[in-house]
Amino acid sequence: MDIQIGYLPKRTYSIQPSIGGNFPFALTSDPSYVLKVDRTYLPEINSDFFPLWMKNIKAYPLYICAEFPLDMLDEFENECKELVISNRCLKSKDYSLVVTEIKNELQFRELFPYYITIGFGIGLVLWSTNKDIISVVKREWKGGSNKGYRKGKHKPLIEDTLVVDLDEETSIFWIGYDGDNFVVISNRSSFSTYEQIVQTLPDFVVPNIVEFE
């Protein structure tokens, strides 16, 4: 399995949510490492890739946040009950997000097909490792405004926003737009160099180092 790996330059992203920005969520602080992985088209990805990688980096429990369509939510919640998996719902005026606690590799393998469907359908899917650090709070969005405020002046756009409170022990994996790449955001030293990252990948993965502009 060939993949492309490269660090994203800091100028390409912001911890503040932005209209048309790189990430559809906010961070509470600047991360040490932001890594993009390409050639991971979800419908065709090796089913062992993510489960084995999470095992290798000792990521469990995982806290997976996903925006479920209503026609899929009931089936998913029933599946969680059968597997004795807990979840919680983050609601805003615009959407509902489900955060699910995944305690082990077996649970991850059982539920990951749902996340593939959502991620490939341009829905939001991200997860944190080891801790639940995901919340919804009001944040100002860069590049956005409410027009018609005080005789034509613009009022800052403040919306309910998915926020990730990253610390030294956790990482975030976010499935990118169209489901053909993903991003790792982390402060962990295991993501500090290409050499350390490659050591954690499953044996069947052939990484190709690239530089993103």
CA distance 56 to 47: 15
Residue ranges of the chain with per-residue pLDDT less than 70: 91-95, 144-154
pLDDT of residue 153: 58
Tokens of 197: 């990252």
Q: Which pLDDT score is estimated for 148?
A: 47
* pLDDT for 144: 61
Query: Minimal CA–CA distance to 191: which of 5, 18, 2?
Result: 5
pTM of the model: 0.89
